[in-house]
Amino acid sequence: MNEEYEPVEGLDRASKACVRACEAEAAAKTASDYQHIVWAYGILWALFAAYGVLLWKRASRQRVELLDLERRLRETP
């Protein structure tokens, strides 16, 4: 008997090899699951970037309003 294969109840050598192959494939897939990582990190950075743009646009609006206010102050006697 091949020592590599311990006798397991209900599993012949072929089935056991098949299960091991499936487990190895699943383990490799889990260890190289970059799709979820890319989505999670991508969305995260995009969120912060979008908020940064929002703050920048708000600051630009305030600058315009401040200039308008200064102009009106100069015009008001």
Partner 1 sequence: MARRLPTVFLVAAAFIFPYCVQRIFLHTPIEREMGTAQKIFYFHVPLAWLMMAFAIVAGIAAGIQLRRGSLRAEATALAAAEIVLLTGIGVLVTGPIWGHATWGHAWTWDARQVTTGLHWLIFAAYLLVRRYGAAGSDRLAAALAIFGAVNVPIIYYAVKIWKTTHPSNEVVGSLPAEMWASLWPALIALALLSIALLLVRLRQELTDIALDEAWIRLNERGEA
> What type of residue sits at position 4?
E
Task: Determine the interface stretch with partner 1 among 3-11, 12-20, 23-31 (rule: CB under 8 A).
Answer: 23-31
Task: Choose between 15 and 26: whose C-beta lies nearer to partner 1.
Answer: 26
Element (H, E) at 22: helix 13-31
The reply on whether position 1 binds partner 1 by CB under 8 A is no
Show the tokens assigned to 15: 């089935």
Cα gap 15→57, rounded to integer Å: 63
Which residues are at the interface with partner 1 (CB under 8 A)? 27, 29-34, 36-37, 39-41, 43-44, 47-48, 51-52, 55, 58-59, 62, 65-66, 69, 72-73, 76
